[in-house]
Structure 1
Amino acid sequence: MKKQALLLISLFIICVSKAQTDSIIISMPGSSLVNDNTSLTNDYDNVEKIMGINDTVDILELDPLEDLIYRRLKILDASSPIDFSYNKSTVYYIKKYLDRDVKLISIMLGVSPYYFPMMEQQLDRFQIPLELKYLAIVESSLNPKARSRSGATGLWQFMYPTGKEYGLEVTSYIDERQDPLKSTIAACTYFEKLYSMFGDWHLVLAAYNGGPGYIKRLMTKTELTNYWDLQPHLKKETQNYVPKFIAISYAMTFYKEYTIDIINSDLNITQNDTISFKKQAPYHIISDMFCVSKETLNYLNPAYKQELLPLGEIIYLPNHVIMDIVRNEDFFYDYLEKVDNKEILVNEIRLVYIVEKGDYLGKISKQYNLSVPDIKEWNNLHSDNLSIGDELILYIPDER
């Protein structure tokens, strides 16, 4: 009896002396001190310290759904160095991903087996919490070709300058921000640097979204060092960033308990390996030669921008395709050379064009969607000069 009286007194003191933005609603039937509409802080640790109680939820009757969320967040929190806090904004996004946006979770459960093992391997190598793999869902929905309005690109949404700073090459043919492995290594390096600056994973996440300079300036201005204290002062996107991360982590971890279906990809992409070619290889040639769809090639190799594998670069392919290439390597290179020399035409036709009055190379190239350098190479032209009646050999796409 004495212990219960002390509990009620401690709860009353907390209620009248502390008011925080993020709170939970509790009810104690039959109590004159606390009614169904009383809002108490979610800082259960104070109550636990006063009463020596390990889990106050056993005494404080929460809404059943929120009580379950609270207990499961405790499980996540116990298994990670990241603080999986229970508060109003976190619960809002958890409910959102379990209801209105549950299809996203279903799709991510189908796609994640392709990316998560690689991410976990790199996160472990850098001694970084494995749960950070879920941040790639917040950033890009696990789409390596995702591009924001501001130009951030890839699974981890690197801006061009940040990507270059962390070793990600961007050229006319390749964008390594879209390379799953290389961008994940860059993200791990960046996480490592941010943690050395802030020493707190919530602040690391906020800095990843808003920029370390912005977070440092705001911390100096407000004299606040805790993310949840800092949250009301952050711009809206960064306010919601950590709650979204926690909510995604929660939904992806406990999807079975909520009977969330898995939407599997139609692509068989789990069994693949790498190979490099001695010649530059267009995707359509690889596709036609080895019966692998361009959709699969693009999915496995999102870093290549022109559906063209540059000389010496590594390409990911299904295992059975790589075996076909190894068995037919000499024939493949001979075939590529004949295609390059126009001895074999693939998806194009040969056209003889007669130059007319007013024609020039730029006009002709635009008319047939070709490049001037290609027209000059095909016709062994050393200048742009043309004469009426000249015959030009053009290779144009076969649209039949």
Structure 2
Amino acid sequence: MIKKLLLIFICISTTCCFPSFAQQNKKIDSLINNLNNVFINKDTVTVPALVENPLMLSQNYLYKLRLDSISKTIPLPYNEYVQHYIDIYAKRKDMIGQMLGLSNYYFPIFEKALKEYNIPQEIKYLPIIESSMNPHAVSRVGATGLWQFMFGTGKAYGLQMDNFVDERKDPIQASYAAAAYFRDAYAKLGDWLLAIAAYNCGMGNVTRAVDKAGSRDFWVVRQYLPLETRNYVPALIAAIYIMNYSGKHQISAQACNLYLKTDTVQVNRFVSLPLLAKALNIDEVSLCALNPSYKKKIVNGSADLPKRIVMPKLKNMDFASIYEVLNHTDLDVDMQIVAAGTDDVRDLRKKKGLVAAASNKTLYHKVKAGQNLTQVANLYHVEVQDLKVWNNLKNFNIVPGQKLKVYIKTKMASKPSADYLTYLVKAGDTISNIADKFEGVTVQTIKRDNNLENSNLQPGMVLKISKG
């Protein structure tokens, strides 16, 4: 009897399980159609089940399956951080539509460079979150181009920057430089997600974070990385997802405004892009868009260093006119090549700080309870950022008792005009008692003559005192 009951139970279980097994053969995206079957509560108990929104549960699982289906060399895990950026990108339909259109031109360039350095093709999506695939993009700290190279990093990876060209804006040159960077980053860090993080904040920051975490798992290391970098990797994974599954979010590719079929020529002389556009019978803007790295719309080729020009493939081209522009047209332009200086805002601030240290009077401010960096800066009429540079501060936090170096401009201590006297502020001085020392001088005139916003003084300050 027991054997018969057991046999009946097995048969019923097998029959119930079969539909579930059959559903596995359906396409991933058909899972959403089976929501009602999966999440129906068949229990007769009236107490509602404490489950999340069924639609959300299925969507999350669907996103994971989709990411798994496109993951190749680089792992593309699904989690709440990735979901957050998927939600953001799914709402930016116009922006993603533009990226889909531009990808038709730029992705073949990226793919070729990445393949040459044996870098995973998933990296080609990085310029979407770096620059929105805009070769003229410049960040607040000076990172430039599709791949957002800083001046020093670009130079280290062979990109040329002078008064005629900035190769950080060259889609081809910058792509090879980026591929070389990833080769080095992966060789040092041994993990692709960490290498991607290093592209955002530098290998040094990632190495220190790895040491603190005691792990090479990005999701473990993440908490020790700068805030921007913590979100950088999830944003990339979300961008990869949305570019591959844009249709599932009702996002359509927009027309690309770049010529998709092009030829390249190498020139060993200076060539005007506007004149070449005229010979090609195309809009000047369209030709410059294919050659975004040339600052003056002049290609500065030479025998020692030929330069590339990207031109559209066109029917019925006037080859004689094009040949004339490329080979026989002389330009009235100063051809001296001058290497560009850094445009890294951080380096420029450091230089500014060094100049200040060399030419200005040095004071030391002892931080009082309740003071913040902005209050100290206002006290001496300097910039908060300068205080950070002068004192090697990594953030805006200061503590009572901390000594801050402050550079006062030497012009404040320079010899004043014949209409003024100078007074060196001593400990305990106030504007009121200083005014009492001089005939016809008031608190208001001292504040006016010294551009003081308040009555706070610091020992060592030099005040101009009107002779009346």
- Verify same fold: TM over 0.5: yes
Task: Report the equivalent of 1:254.
Answer: 245
Task: Report the equivalent of 1:104.
Answer: 95
Task: Report the equivalent of 2:65.
Answer: 71
1:180-259 → structure 2 map (5 Å cutoff) = 180-259=171-250
Task: Report the equivalent of 1:145.
Answer: 136
Paired AA for residue 36 in structure 1 = V
Q: Give the gaps of 5 or more residues in structure 1.
A: 4-25, 39-59, 342-400
**2:276 is the counterpart of 1:286:** yes
Partners in 2 of 1:129 and 1:266 — Cα distance?
28
CA RMSD of aligned residues (A): 3.0
Contact 2:136 2:169 (8 Å CA) reproduced: yes
Contact 2:212 2:224 (8 Å CA) reproduced: no
Residues 322, 208 of structure 1: alpha-carbon distance in 2 compared, 3 angstrom cutoff: farther
Task: Report the equivalent of 2:50.
Answer: 35
Deviation at 1:74, TM superposition (A): 1.8
Between the aligned residues of both structures, percent identity stands at 34
Contact 1:325 1:332 (8 Å CA) reproduced: no
Paired AA for residue 295 in structure 1 = V
Partners in 2 of 1:322 and 1:175 — Cα distance?
33
Task: Report the equivalent of 1:296.
Answer: 286
1:147-166 → structure 2 map (5 Å cutoff) = 147-166=138-157
Paired AA for residue 127 in structure 1 = N
Contact 2:82 2:235 (8 Å CA) reproduced: yes
Partners in 1 of 2:147 and 2:325 — Cα distance?
39
Question: Residue 75 of structure 2: SS of its match in structure 1?
Answer: coil
Per the normalisation by structure 2, the TM-score is 0.57
Candidates 302, 311, 314, aligned match of 2:308: 314
Whichever of the two has the greater Rg, that structure is 2
Paired AA for residue 96 in structure 1 = I
Q: Give the gaps of 5 or more residues in structure 2.
A: 1-8, 14-37, 334-468
1:384-395 → structure 2 map (5 Å cutoff) = none
**2:99 is the counterpart of 1:84:** no
Partners in 2 of 1:142 and 1:322 — Cα distance?
31
Candidates 170, 174, 185, aligned match of 1:179: 170
Partners in 2 of 1:233 and 1:154 — Cα distance?
28
Partners in 1 of 2:83 and 2:325 — Cα distance?
60
Deviation at 1:286, TM superposition (A): 2.2
**1:13-72 C-alpha deviation (Å, 9 max, x unpaired):** xxxxxxxxxxxxx9895599x83269xxxxxxxxxxxxxxxxxxxxx9962322221221
Paired AA for residue 51 in structure 2 = D
Partners in 1 of 2:150 and 2:284 — Cα distance?
27
Residues 340, 219 of structure 1: alpha-carbon distance in 2 compared, 3 angstrom cutoff: closer
Aligned length: 292
Question: Residue 329 of structure 1: SS of its match in structure 2?
Answer: helix
Contact 1:173 1:310 (8 Å CA) reproduced: yes
Paired AA for residue 285 in structure 1 = L
Partners in 2 of 1:74 and 1:68 — Cα distance?
10
Partners in 1 of 2:179 and 2:247 — Cα distance?
29
Paired AA for residue 310 in structure 2 = Y
Question: Residue 274 of structure 1: SS of its match in structure 2?
Answer: strand
Paired AA for residue 226 in structure 2 = K
